[in-house]
């Protein structure tokens, strides 16, 4: 007898809006959000965020009343140099959940990944670099209707390094694909 192990893979993109905010738990009027599809390119958004900040992208909506995450989480982030040549030493991407009582919980993480890269900035053009990641979500995590997902991006880099979070489907600056158990 065989049982099918069904997973549903959902892809989210991190953008930074200027006029729309998400709120849940400790995230109040939060501008960095996760979307399933890019919104109109005429929307007022920010293309970059300081990479040295802890950048958290919230998905403030229900996925199901109760759902489980298990499998391999994949995605990438994009870092760029602004104004000067920048050094990047490491990054970490973490899938987290926020409880309605304001308690955050880290679910799955890449751990700190050492990259030791230099991004150049010449003639008003800053080099961009995309960093792919995989996270083994081996231990199944359950989320309820009282919890929301968010992605936390942490980078150790020079002050002029930015995390790209453009609302642009051509680049997909912050992207994560999450396996949900059906």
pLDDT at 1: 44
Strand, coil or helix: 34? strand
Q: Is 94 among the domain residues?
A: yes
Strand, coil or helix: 167? coil
Q: What is the largest CA-CA distance in the chain?
A: 64
Compute the mean pLDDT over every residue in the chain, rounded to the nearest whole number: 92
Torsion of CA 30, 34, 35, 41, to 10 degrees: 70
Site of tokens 């849940």: 24
What is the CATH classification number for the domain harbouring 45? Answer: 2.60.120.260
Domain of residue 76 covers: 7-181
pLDDT at 2: 46
Q: What is the pLDDT of residues 138-155, one digit of tens each?
A: 999 999 999 999 999 999
Percent of the chain with pLDDT over 70: 97
Q: Is 77 among the domain residues?
A: yes
pLDDT band for position 22 (50/70/90)? Answer: confident
Q: What is the pLDDT of residues 123-132, one digit of tens each?
A: 888 999 999 9
3-state helix, strand, coil in the chain (%, to 5): 0, 65, 35
* Mean pLDDT, rounded, for 89-94: 98
Distance from C-alpha of 30 to C-alpha of 51, rounded to nearest angstrom = 17
């Amino acid at each position: 007898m065989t049982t099918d192990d069904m997973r549903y893979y959902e892809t989210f993109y991190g953008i930074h809006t200027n006029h729309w905010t998400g709120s849940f738990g400790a995230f109040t009027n939060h501008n960095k959000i996760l979307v399933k599809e890019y919104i109109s390119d005429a929307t007022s958004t920010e293309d970059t965020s300081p990479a040295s900040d802890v950048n958290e992208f919230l998905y403030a909506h229900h996925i199901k009343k109760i759902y489980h995450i298990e499998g391999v989480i994949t995605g990438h982030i994009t870092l760029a140099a602004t104004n000067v040549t920048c050094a990047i030493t490491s990054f970490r991407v973490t899938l987290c959940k926020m409880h309605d009582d304001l308690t955050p919980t880290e679910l799955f993480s890449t751990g700190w990944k050492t990259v030791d890269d230099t991004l150049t900035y010449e003639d008003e053009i800053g080099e961009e670099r995309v960093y792919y990641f995989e996270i083994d979500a081996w231990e199944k995590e359950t989320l309820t209707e009282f919890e929301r997902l968010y992605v936390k991006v942490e980078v150790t880099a020079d002050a002029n390094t930015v995390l790209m979070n453009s609302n642009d489907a051509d680049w997909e600056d912050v992207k994560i694909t999450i396996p949900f158990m059906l």
